[in-house]
Amino acid sequence: MKAICEICRKRIELVDGCVESEVELNNQWYKRLKEPIHEVAPNKRCPDCAAKPGHYHHWDCEMEKCPQCGGQLISCACKANDLRAM
């Protein structure tokens, strides 16, 4: 795995997680959720984006939970427009 996050510009396997803390959904800003949509083995990195437990997922991760509806952020109806660091 040698992917680079398009938001934080880091190699995802070398950092704890993404640095962006909020996401814009339908013109409103929400704090991003760090827990995955599906259960991951304790103390294991996210199987999709390699974020460590307790850290933000990298952008377009299939495991990131939507802070508005609780569904899968990458495919939910709460259109994610943008991210910003806090």
Which residues fall within 8 angstroms of residue 31, CB to CB, at 6 or more apart? 21, 22, 67, 86
Residues in the chain with pLDDT < 70? 1-2, 79-86
Which residues fall within 8 angstroms of residue 62, CB to CB, at 6 or more apart? 37, 48, 72, 74
Task: In the chain, count H helices and then E strands.
Answer: 0, 3
The whole-model pTM stands at: 0.84
pLDDT at 1 (0 to 100): 55
For residue 12, give the amino acid letter.
I
pLDDT at 86 (0 to 100): 41
pLDDT at 79 (0 to 100): 66
Element (DSSP H or E) covering residue 80 = strand 80-84
